[in-house]
Amino acid sequence: MTNRSFEIVDVTLRDGSHSMRHAFTKEQVRETARGLDKAGVNYFEVSHGDGLGGSSMQYGLSKVNELELIETAAAECGQAKVSVLLIPGIGTKYDLNDAVKAGAKMVRIATHVTEADVAKQHITLARELGLKTIGFLMMAHMASIEKLVEQAKLFESYGAEVVYVTDSAGALLPHEVTERITALKNELSIEIGFHGHNNLSMAMANTLAAVQAGATYIDGSLRALGAGSGNTQTEVMVAVLEKMEYNTGVDLYKILDVANDVVAKYMPRPQEVTGSSLMMGYSGVYSSFLLHTEKAAKRFNIDERDILVELGKMKAVGGQEDLIYEVAANITKKKFAVAPKP
């Protein structure tokens, strides 16, 4: 096999939280973590879908406190390590300290692609706590390559050890991923990662483009469980990379077992490209908006695709979930407006 090392970071227990409506149980986390560890995955993420501190009315309340889930997952780790996500403004330094006490060994500090400057103190703290520290540039399709490089350099200057191109909306195409990863490889001295969503059915193709351009951290989710149409499917990624003679270090049979025997049994629905999630990729809308949009469409009796198109025009980003209902209300007003009498 090609002498190359990849870190496949599995996000089933974090990004999958969106699809699960943040209702993971300890037993589900325990069995998934045990399977990932046995399969040889070095890092897997456990948090509320919107990261540490995300359990709220705004983002959705967790069924089980995330610190308990982190502890549960960490207890199953022989060689694997638990990662967490922190979005400044949602998670705090206190949440990060608590996560470390619960067993977290890595953190991904996530900001909008143009707002890396808000993460300096969080990255500094993460390094002080001895965590593997990663910068996560979300909604990467919304910035020029020049801006992406500028923001990635900020993450690097703060102490991030890896910087991710994060396709939060599943809006990028393979050549766009290649351009972005290549630019970061040329301009940064740290490792580069890629996180994809499948809203345009491009997640696997985009991940391969990232790998071929030099990314060494790549994200996946078992059975593609994640926001929108889900993520690059971990077990598929392992199989494809193995066929391409890359060395992932992950046991294909064992990763298939945890995907099919554990995750498939608790998934609320199959992860597939639907009309609504497809529109998210097409319009460039944050993948975690899907369930909120479906709820708003039912409440106002309108087409959820219309909501997503408007959100795309507004360039809405994570943290603006309240806009979904505002947009839905405005569409309803226009739909049922009575024309003035002549």
Number of domains in the chain: 2
Percentage of the chain beyond pLDDT 70 is 96
pLDDT of residue 337: 66
296 close to 307: Cβ distance less than 8 angstroms: yes
| Higher pLDDT among residues 67 and 326, named by residue | 67
pLDDT of residue 319: 61
Residue 132's DSSP bridge partners are 106
194 close to 207: Cβ distance less than 8 angstroms: yes
Ligand-binding annotation for 14, yes or no, is yes
Residue 94 within any structural domain of the chain: yes
Residue 205 within any structural domain of the chain: yes
Other residues' Cβ atoms within 10 Å of the Cβ of residue 322 = 11
User: CA geometry: angle at 172 spanning 255 and 213, to 5°?
Assistant: 70
Is 165 in the same domain as 199? Answer: yes
Confidence of residue 1 (pLDDT cuts 50, 70, 90): very low
Summarize pLDDT for 175-207 with one digit per residue, the tens.
999 999 999 999 999 999 999 999 999 999 999
pLDDT of residue 91: 95
Residue 342 within any structural domain of the chain: no
pLDDT of residue 209: 98
Q: How far is CA 155 from CA 149, 151, 190, in A?
A: 10, 7, 10
* Three-state DSSP state, 231: strand
What pTM does this model have?
A: 0.89
Summarize pLDDT for 82-112 with one digit per residue, the tens.
999 999 999 999 999 999 999 999 999 999 9
Summarize pLDDT for 141-175 with one digit per residue, the tens.
999 999 999 999 999 999 999 999 999 999 999 99
Indicate whether 333 pLDDT > 90: no
Ligand-binding annotation for 197, yes or no, is yes
Is 108 in the same domain as 218? Answer: yes
Range with the lowest mean pLDDT among 37-41, 68-72, 259-263, 320-324?
A: 320-324
Torsion over CA of 149, 154, 155 and 157, rounded to 10 degrees?
Answer: 120
18 is catalytic: yes
The beta-strand segments (E) located in 12-166 are: 43-45, 81-86, 104-112, 132-138, 162-166
Confidence of residue 243 (pLDDT cuts 50, 70, 90): very high
Range with the lowest mean pLDDT among 75-79, 104-108, 229-233, 274-278?
A: 274-278
Confidence of residue 335 (pLDDT cuts 50, 70, 90): confident
pLDDT of residue 144: 97
- Contact residues for 87 (Cβ-Cβ < 8 A; gap 6+): 50, 51, 54, 109, 110, 111, 318, 319
pLDDT of residue 274: 85
Ligand-binding annotation for 108, yes or no, is no
d(CA 16, CA 39): 19
Ligand-binding annotation for 257, yes or no, is no
Mean residue pLDDT across the chain: 92
Is 59 in the same domain as 188? Answer: yes
What letter would DSSP give residue 338? P
Is 101 in the same domain as 250? Answer: yes
Identity of the residue numbered 81:
K
Residue 340 within any structural domain of the chain: no
Ligand-binding annotation for 266, yes or no, is no
- Domain span at residue 40 reads 2-266
Confidence of residue 285 (pLDDT cuts 50, 70, 90): confident
Residue 134's DSSP bridge partners are 108, 162
| Domain harbouring 294, CATH code | 1.10.8.60
Indicate whether 139 pLDDT > 60: yes
Residue 66 within any structural domain of the chain: yes
Give me the mean pLDDT over the 309-315 stretch.
Answer: 83
Is 213 in the same domain as 235? Answer: yes
Ligand-binding annotation for 22, yes or no, is no
Bridge-based pairing of strands 132-138 and 7-10 is unpaired
d(CA 4, CA 215): 11
Indicate whether 339 pLDDT > 70: no
